[in-house]
Structure 1
Amino acid sequence: MKWHQALTDFSLYLKIERGLSKNTIASYSFDIEKLIAYLEDHKIAVSPIHINSETIQQFIYQVAKGVNPRSQSRIISGLRSFFNFLVFEDYRNDNPVDLIESPRTGRKLPDTLSLEDIDRLINAIDLSKEYNQVRIGERDRTMLETLYGCGLRVSELVNLKLSDLFFEEGFINIIGKGDKQRFVPIGPATQNYINIYINEVRTAIKIQKEFNDTLFLNNRGKQLTRAMVFTIIKKLAEEINLNKTISPHTFRHSFATHLLENGADLRAIQMMLGHLSITTTEIYMHLDKKQLKKAIQTFHPRK
């Protein structure tokens, strides 16, 4: 078996059998491609069936020189999944990554914004800004309000459809990681921003046929890219001199943190975020020790 054939088969497995998203599959594939490039650069002629732990360890050692421990752990995890697939398909009898330990990374707490910072970012948007007679300022405000108001991933935001909006019921339909479907509550304020955008901005766009149902569009009538949303947020952060490195995901983290700080149930937050495991959501419990102190003072019988 050749490397590129093994990688193609692995990608199909991740898509069909495990139902992973395109971005996740691309991340896994990128790590395997790094290993393939390393073998070619060092003229190591070995197939994925016969490669051993020592060779993979040498590769990881080379990679470790340029990346942080968290990235090393991700690469090792990707390689382990790849060789588990080969074992599962009976191409190998063992996984050569099993004996390789991942570096200790600790638990990274997500960056968050205060409500004041979020207001400053959104208020920095020039609502009069137009491009080809499209009020892109109004669009940008609606996107950020939706990111924060619903706790969406950026991929979920740009893929949101008109047919996913169920405002009478107070929900939007979200297709998350691995094509998992969930219904997320949407408040009246966010609904209002979306309605203004749909009725007063989106109608001015000459929409390309294949994007008729896509909610957020660029001025050419096509779906916005994830990169464009990143750029919009980065520019706004620079405008208000926000001394934090933020991304669309920061709004999602802030959504979860603010809900928790205001007394929301962790299980409800898990469902809204689309986390498969409550353990993923529990990271927000570590953000504010004041909340732990408040919990004792409020609920313990000997407070």
Structure 2
Amino acid sequence: MPTISQSSEELLLTQISSEVVSLSPQIDQIKLRMRLAGILSLYDVRPAQLPGAHPDIQDKVRLFLAAKKLEGLSPLTLEGYQLELRIFAEKVRKPVTDITTADIRVFLGDFPDLKTSSISKKLSVLKSFFSWLTEEEIIPRDPTRKIKPPKKEQRMPKALTIEELEMIREACQTYRERALIEVLYATGCRLSEVQALNRDDINWQTASARVIGKGNKEREVFFSFKAMYHLRKYLMNRLDREPALFITERQPYRRLSKRGIQREIHIIADRAGIQKSVHPHTLRHTFATLTLNNGADISTVQALLGHEDPATTQVYAQISDEHKKEQYKKYHVQ
């Protein structure tokens, strides 16, 4: 069993190596690790400890995140893993070899107010973590193996109607507001994808852009004529040199945060008098629903949304089928 210092030294070595390789992929990893190991051998390396968490689990979490970064997981995914595992480490104060299935069940049951989807997310992260520990032979067996994910809530996504979408558009008061609404709706992008866009990402000739979605996967999305018109209008009225597509309205100008975009959409929806809850993902739902209702092929919509699992897109097809049923009842001659 390695000591805390040895484990920490190995962890630091892995983290530094991964950072250097990400900046310069051509570098010889073996030589790099050997030179770093020689330098680190002169020091007693100990990690900073989180309050209340066992040092062993903290070490293993750091190793896990470093390994996943080398596998190419996106910074957003790694950030999510880190947050969930930090909460777990502070609640379950044990070395990883002592953590049982019962410990994990008790931990997951300690969030009675969370939605089923949030519990599933926590379990998914833990399964990934303990599965990796088992594969690396750090622990003899996976304590999450016997835990089944909770049944998913069968809720239909709440899309805007055509009338509500027009009300949202009419409620916009600034160039940025209108451009933001049109881009979110026209592309069907996730909040994080739009937030990360830069001016140079927009191909004005093809009215498209390439975005990085879940799993660090790249896909092409498209802009409608309205989206291109209002986006161009917004950018032409900006005097800054900030590369981000959407920025703050006050100096110092910087990329608009995800929270900032959410707040903007909420303000516009309130101004429009929309009764239902409206957030950036609502416009993604609206894009999918209205596109399918207008006759688009489900596999095309799946590709445009960046869904890996066709079943995820199928939810919108069910809404489309409901629309067809309504049309049948309305127009069918008995």
TM-score by length of 2: 0.76
Deviations 1:71-126 (A, max 9, x none): 22222222111101111222123210111233223333222111211111121122
Deviations 1:217-253 (A, max 9, x none): 2132211111111001111222233211121011011
Query: What residue in structure 2 maps to residue 159 of structure 1?
Result: 196
CA contact (8 A) 2:219 2:306 kept: yes
Q: CA RMSD in A?
A: 2.3
Summarize the Cα distance change of 1:10–1:292 in structure 2 as closer, same or farther, 3 Å threshold. Answer: farther
Summarize the Cα distance change of 1:289–1:14 in structure 2 as closer, same or farther, 3 Å threshold. Answer: same
1:50 to 98, 101, 122: 98
1:263 to 287, 290, 295: 295
Number of residue pairs the alignment of both structures matches: 274
CA contact (8 A) 1:20 1:177 kept: no
Query: After superposition, where does 1:1-303 map in structure 2 within 5 Å?
Result: 2-17=56-71, 19-40=72-93, 46-63=94-111, 65-126=112-173, 137-199=174-236, 201-202=237-238, 204-205=239-240, 207=241, 211=242, 213-219=243-249, 220=251, 221-291=253-323, 293=325
**Distance in 2, Cα, partners of 1:233 & 1:239:** 10
CA contact (8 A) 1:76 1:102 kept: yes
Structure with the bigger RCO (C-alpha within 8 Å, sep 6+) is: 1
Q: For structure 2, which runs of at least 5 residues remain unmatched after alignment?
A: 1-6, 8-55, 330-334
% identical aligned pairs? 27
Q: Which amino acid aligns with 2:269?
A: A
Q: Which amino acid aligns with 1:99?
A: K
Summarize the Cα distance change of 1:88–1:231 in structure 2 as closer, same or farther, 3 Å threshold. Answer: same
Quote the offset at 1:291 in angstroms: 4.0
Summarize the Cα distance change of 1:9–1:109 in structure 2 as closer, same or farther, 3 Å threshold. Answer: farther
**Distance in 2, Cα, partners of 1:215 & 1:62:** 41
**Distance in 1, Cα, partners of 2:70 & 2:327:** 44
Query: What residue in structure 2 maps to residue 134 of structure 1?
Result: none
Quote the offset at 1:25 in angstroms: 2.4
Q: For structure 1, which runs of at least 5 residues remain unmatched after alignment?
A: 41-45, 127-136, 298-303
**Distance in 1, Cα, partners of 2:110 & 2:213:** 35
TM-score by length of 1: 0.83
CA contact (8 A) 1:20 1:179 kept: yes
Deviations 1:50-89 (A, max 9, x none): 31112222222223x3323332222222211110111122
State which structure, 1 or 2, has the greater radius of gyration over its C-alpha atoms: 2
CA contact (8 A) 2:116 2:153 kept: no
